[in-house]
Amino acid sequence: MAPTSVPGRPKLILASASPRRLALLQQAGIEPDTLVPAEIDETPWPRESPRKLALRLAREKASEAARRIRDDADWAGSVILAADTVVCVGRRILPKAETIEEAAACIRLLSGRSHRVYTGLCRVDQAGRVSAKLVETRVRFKRLSKDEIDAYLGAGEWRGKAGGYAIQGIAGAFVVSLVGSYTNVVGLPLAEAVGLVGATGYPVTLGWIAKG
């Protein structure tokens, strides 16, 4: 797909297929020119910490997106933004739940305790320079009853979600405290993401007027 460009600004590529990340950027008045989802192996390395995993995967996604557009003149000089979110309890990395058994194990583990959400951000600028940042949020769930867990699992919102939940859904009612960025838990810490994009010269405020 050829970009629809605004004269004088770089094109922006979001290296993600996540509707949540796209919606968050749009919330901030930023409309990517295209999406280039990066298919990579997200398996943690042996003894890899959650922090390092989030940053590594964000870098790999950005690198894969850059590789895919390398020979396409329409996208030369684009800004690429990639992100990866990891949910963990201590050093235990929780999966993106694909089965009800995985989701049940995650929610039972999170019930009544604190956990951390890390998002690695990676930006590739017009000259191919790479910049990365890690954002951390601490979240605590209330203690959940068996009936609450069973009903939540039956709702199916856990599918494909890191840690088996999406804070913007039913699980938002489980959160008793949150320290840090709320949008980080959704999947894209907006302050940091917009800052990384804006540092390239991309006019992040251009869409704000249209929202008014």
Tokens of 68: 């895919």
Judging by beta carbons within 10 Å of its beta carbon (0-12, 13-18, 19+), is residue 209 exposed, middle or buried? exposed
Given the residues 71, 72, 84, 147, select the one marked as catalytic: 84
Residue 21: CB partners within 8 Å, gap ≥ 6?
14, 83, 187, 188
The set of residues, in sequence order, having a beta carbon less than 8 Å from that of 31 and lying 6+ positions away, is 25, 207
Query: Could you confirm whether 84 is annotated as catalytic?
Result: yes
Tell me the sheet residues that pair with 13.
Answer: 34, 80
- Please tell me whether residue 60 adopts helix, strand or coil conformation: helix
The residues that are catalytic are 84
